[in-house]
């Protein structure tokens, strides 16, 4: 790095916004958050773990240039022309050696643009109808400068392409269509199409900043990648990637590798994670349409018979060998989450539509959701947090998932929740919670963890194949309206291993478990449940459907698969037959 980097703030900056102040916050950071917060009619605490005020410079945001000061570079097939001494042309390689504004137009059929300037120089490349292909390297290679701007001229369409391989031209591992060893900013109002037949779309080994433009990126590996950070203020993004769609990762410095999105429109189909940050992640607004893998329904949900009482600390009584096999499978597997942050994650607003093979939202540290509109379909958990999960407000529609919302602890202040889950709807997990399956990651929680669920308000409609609400510690309901349907003879609508208190919530269940959570179905907290007596000894849910049937979208009860859960009558018949 050539200069002092922006750092994360040492502490979380908490600002309590009154309802009247929400609009002001949204104007600065995207409209979505304000609309979500105000629709709930509650005050929202907006958190920031990133110095967002310093994320974008004035020049980053401007996205403009002075054409009268620009040096014109005309691309002419297999050559180029320019009358500036700061530009060196060697065949189809154009090297820019000094600070300035450079206007590129035309077609380069097999060549590259190289920025090799002074380490304090700022170089602005303006693409104005440029089409650049490099068969064996990066189309744009920022080797040396303080910062390089790639500006998309208004009303222009631009294309950058790699031909399918990267052949070394120096000591750097060039592996992207735009590859920068410098700070890199993409801005402007034009459009850019990137074809990365090998490697990544855009890579900065420093800071990657994007403030405007329309981007269509097809990449064999990552779409957008920044080592120290990725900061996006706006733009329209359509990304198809063989690995992560947008990635921030710095394995050398844990204070870096952060990702901040203020606003923008994102349509991402990724074979890895759609959005991933090794460091802190913060989203203040934007519209997100995210798909990972082949979507949620490409993952086979486990049948009820795969999950029984805890045995040896493993769900379903798994052996040490099976556990080791799962661990190896996880090591070899590909993460296919919608939005993933390995550290603290904060979502202050936005509209999110996700269909993911793995978790839709996943946080390795504390996760706070202040507001937003979420339509989530997941082959695993819709929302998973390895630490404390707090939801202040928002609208959550989750028609398909293994578990709906899961954290080490879960605190919900307000919001609207419509959840249909194969297993638990809400889950606070202590001990080893093996909510992964099929070789997928098994989310691990410390056995000494202080797990709890606290609900202070909100409207909940939950239809679950496991417990509707399951706390491996205390369960406290201080307010809200809860309509809970548990479709399993071995689970209950309300289940907790600790103390249960209802201090003002309106709770309705289909099994009467609000009177005695966790005891009607054997009550083993988040540990898969043990067979136990329900009010209906046959284990049938109202309407004649079997309580063992996992729910479908909208709460309908599907036909039970042949290896699925059995009612007590079926189990007795099977035992007699054997």
Q: What is the DSSP string of 193-249?
A: EEEESSSEEEEESSEEEE-S-EEEEEESS-SEEESSEEEE---EEEEEESS-SEEE-
The answer on pLDDT for 369 being more than 60 is: yes
Q: What percent of the chain has pLDDT over 70?
A: 73
CA distance 467 to 534: 13
As a whole number of Å, the CA-based R_g of the chain is 26
The answer on pLDDT for 151 being more than 70 is: yes
Q: Which pairing describes strands 246-248 and 224-226: parallel, antiparallel, or unpaired?
A: parallel
Residue 445's pLDDT band (boundaries 50, 70, 90)?
low
CA distances from 219 to 25, 273, 347 (A): 35, 14, 27
The alpha carbon of residue 436 and the mean position of all alpha carbons in its chain are separated, in whole angstroms, by 17
CB atoms within 10 A of CB 234: 20
Residue 490's pLDDT band (boundaries 50, 70, 90)?
confident
pTM of the shown model: 0.81
- With CA atoms as reference, report the closest residue to 416 among 26, 32, 40: 40
Structure tokens at 46: 């907006």
Q: What would the pLDDT profile of 281-335 be if each residue is shown by its tens digit?
A: 999 999 999 999 999 999 988 764 343 322 222 333 344 554 444 544 554 578 9
Q: What percent of the chain has pLDDT over 90?
A: 69
Q: What would the pLDDT profile of 65-119 be if each residue is shown by its tens digit?
A: 999 999 999 999 999 999 999 999 999 999 999 999 999 999 999 999 999 999 9
Phi, psi of 58 (to 5 degrees): -60, -40
CB atoms within 10 A of CB 189: 16
Which residues, 6 or more positions from 282, have their beta carbon under 8 angstroms from its beta carbon? Answer: 48, 49, 50, 52, 258, 259, 260, 261, 345, 346, 347, 348
Q: Is residue 553 packed enough to be buried (19+ CB in 10 Å), middle (13-18) or exposed (0-12)?
A: exposed
- With CA atoms as reference, report the closest residue to 400 among 384, 374, 425, 378: 378
């Amino acid at each position: 790095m050539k200069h002092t980097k922006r750092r994360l703030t040492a502490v979380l900056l908490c600002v309590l916004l009154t309802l009247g102040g929400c609009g002001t916050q949204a104007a600065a950071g995207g409209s979505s958050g304000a609309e979500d917060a105000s629709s709930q009619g509650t005050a929202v605490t907006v958190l920031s773990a990133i110095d967002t005020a310093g994320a974008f410079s004035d020049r980053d945001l401007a996205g403009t240039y002075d054409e009268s000061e620009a040096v014109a570079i005309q691309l002419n097939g297999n050559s180029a022309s320019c009358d500036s001494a700061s530009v060196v042309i060697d065949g189809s390689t154009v090297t820019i050696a000094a600070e300035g504004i450079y206007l590129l137009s035309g077609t380069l059929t097999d060549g590259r643009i190289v920025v090799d300037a002074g380490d304090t120089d700022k170089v602005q490349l303006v693409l104005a109808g440029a089409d650049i292909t490099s068969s064996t390297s990066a189309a744009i290679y920022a080797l040396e400068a303080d910062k390089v701007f790639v500006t998309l001229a208004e009303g222009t369409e631009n294309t950058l392409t790699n031909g399918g391989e990267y052949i070394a031209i120096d000591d750097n591992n060039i592996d992207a269509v735009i590859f920068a060893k410098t700070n890199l900013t993409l801005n402007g109002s034009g459009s850019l199409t990137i074809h990365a037949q090998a490697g990544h779309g855009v890579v900065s080994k420093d800071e990657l900043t994007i403030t405007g433009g329309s981007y269509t990126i097809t990449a064999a590996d990552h779409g957008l990648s920044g080592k120290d950070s990725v900061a996006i203020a706006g733009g329209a993004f359509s990304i198809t990637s063989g690995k992560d769609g947008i990635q921030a990762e710095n394995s050398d410095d844990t204070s870096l590798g952060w990702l901040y999105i203020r606003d923008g429109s994102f349509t991402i189909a990724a074979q890895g994670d759609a959005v991933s940050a090794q460091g802190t992640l913060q989203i203040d607004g934007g519209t997100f349409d995210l798909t990972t893998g082949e979507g949620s329904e490409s993952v086979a949900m486990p049948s009820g018979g795969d999950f029984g009482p805890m045995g040896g600390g493993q769900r379903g009584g798994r052996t040490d060998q099976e556990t080791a096999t799962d661990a190896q499978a996880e090591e070899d597997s590909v993460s296919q989450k919608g939005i993933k942050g390995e550290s603290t994650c904060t979502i202050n607003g936005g509209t999110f539509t996700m269909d993911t093979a793995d978790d839709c939202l996943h946080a390795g540290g504390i996760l706070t959701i202040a507001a937003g509109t979420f339509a989530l379909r997941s082959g695993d958990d819709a929302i998973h947090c390895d630490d404390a999960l707090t939801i202040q407000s928002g609208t959550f529609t989750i028609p398909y998932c293994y578990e709906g919302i899961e954290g080490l602890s879960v605190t919900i202040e307000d919001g609207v929740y419509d959840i249909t889950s194969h297993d638990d709807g809400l889950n606070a997990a202590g001990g080893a919670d093996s909510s992964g399956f099929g070789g997928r990651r098994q989310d691990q929680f410390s056995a000494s963890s202080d797990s709890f669920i606290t609900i202070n308000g909100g409207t909940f409609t939950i239809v679950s194949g496991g417990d509707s609400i399951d706390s491996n510690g205390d369960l406290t309901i201080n307010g809200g309206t809860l309509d809970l349907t548990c479709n399993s003879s071995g689970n209950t609508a309300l289940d907790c291993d600790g103390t249960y208190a209802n201090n003002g919530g309106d709770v309705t269940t289909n099994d009467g478990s609000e009177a005695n959570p966790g005891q009607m179905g054997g009550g083993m907290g988040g540990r898969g449940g043990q067979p136990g007596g329900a009010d209906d000894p046959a284990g049938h849910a109202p309407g004649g459907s079997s309580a063992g049937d996992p729910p479908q979208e909208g709460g309908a009860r599907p036909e039970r698969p042949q290896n699925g859960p059995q009612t007590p009558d079926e189990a007795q018949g099977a035992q007699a037959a054997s």
